[in-house]
Amino acid sequence: MHLAEGILPTVQMLSTTLVAVPLVFLSAYKLRQQFFLQNAEPANRSFLTMAFTLSFAVTLLPIPIPIAGASSHMCATPLLTYILGPVIVPALTAAVLLIQALFFAHGGLTTLGANTLTLGIVGPAVTLATLGVFAAFRVSGKLRLFFAFFLGSLAVYLGDSLLLAWSYADKQPFLKTFGSVCLGFLPVQGPLSMFEALISTKVVTYLSKSHLFSDLQRPTWCQMRHVAPTVILFLIIVSSGTVFFSSRILASTYEGLDEVLFVKTAESFGVYAKDLNPWMTGEVELTIFSLGFFVAGLISGLAYNKWQTFSQQRGLQSNAF
């Protein structure tokens, strides 16, 4: 999710940025129209604030996976896509990643376009596609949500793997790099994505009990039956190809994901990441991270309080878990 500063060659850096920038600007324009104009619903604005701060905290917090001996991050954008709609997510993602790159040494500025593309566009797109396919086959609601969030989360790291394989195709065969990186992240991100899918499904279940959720953009665009055959064929090809080629490659032992997995892959080709925050070490790093989580929690709490106030004013008391 966080490709480090300096590990993408110029072509890949420019290409991903050129793709991401117009989508982010379109997203920001739609976000302003929907949430910040005079006719915008105040409750939705408070909900957007909660979504932003919580996604910032979730994507920054490393979660250890004991069975893999490493840690990784949840993605949050599959859930945000379901709740807020796919057009809103790229702008939120870009803002979150920019703050993390500048102040928390996660990601980078030259890789901001790539990280926004995988986390804010690829992951949400796979989430929507999965929802559409499962809806077409009348799969039950909670099961449909679980697999959509699970595959959407995995797709973020799959997108990063494809980017790295493309970036260093001149140094090592594309499929070998892709397979190695996939084998590096699957033991860690697989269980974590399942955990995220369970939580996200529970969140949607909770929000469905709140009448305020009916005011938010609902994913009615997921009911397009004609996309099912194409998406199924795509998923079969990608899944089969990944298993076939990955099984023939011995994966390196990685201590973690993001910085460790992606940076070590780049270093194996003689490319070294740059440190945007060399002063963030030891107690300073701990202080910065603690302050960041404190501010995010404070803002989320205030926004939630406003959301509940608007709910009570309209006579729509939200149910608890």
Q: What is the pLDDT, as a whole number, of residue 116?
A: 96
Residue 28: count other Cβ atoms within 10 Å of its Cβ: 16
- And the tokens for 129? 């596609």
pLDDT grade for 114, boundaries at 50, 70 and 90: very high
Of the two residues 150 and 50, the one the predictor is more confident about is 150
Give residues with Cβ within 8 angstroms of 250, minimum separation 6: none
Please check whether residue 193 is in contact with residue 153, taking contact to mean a CB–CB distance below 8 angstroms: yes
Res 207 pLDDT > 60: yes
CA distance 15 to 20: 9
pLDDT band at 104; cut points 50, 70, 90: confident
Low-confidence winner among 128-142, 211-225, 264-278 (lowest mean pLDDT): 211-225
The residue that leads in pLDDT, 209 or 110, is 110
Question: Residue 250: pLDDT band by 50, 70, 90 thresholds?
Answer: very low
Q: Stretch 266-270: mean pLDDT, rounded?
A: 84
**Residue 4 in this model has a pLDDT that exceeds 50:** yes
148 vs 150: CA distance, rounded Å: 6
Burial 131-155 (b: 16+ CB within 10 A, else e): bbbbbbeebeeeebbbbbbbbbbbb
User: CA 23 to CA 111: how far, in whole Å?
Assistant: 16
More confident: 62 or 109? 109
> Which pLDDT band, with edges at 50, 70 and 90, does 226 fall under?
very low
pTM: 0.82
Give whichever of 44-58, 149-163, 210-224, 247-261 has the largest mean pLDDT. 149-163
Look at residue 78 and tell me whether its pLDDT is greater than 90: yes
Whether 310 shows a pLDDT value over 90: the answer reads no
Query: Above 60 in pLDDT, residue 315?
Result: no
What is the average pLDDT across 171-177? 89
Helix (H) or strand (E) holding 36: none
The reported pLDDT for the residue numbered 47 is 81
> Residue 321 pLDDT more than 50?
no
pLDDT exceeds cutoff 70 at 61: yes
Contact indicator for 43, 215 with CB cutoff of 8 Å = yes
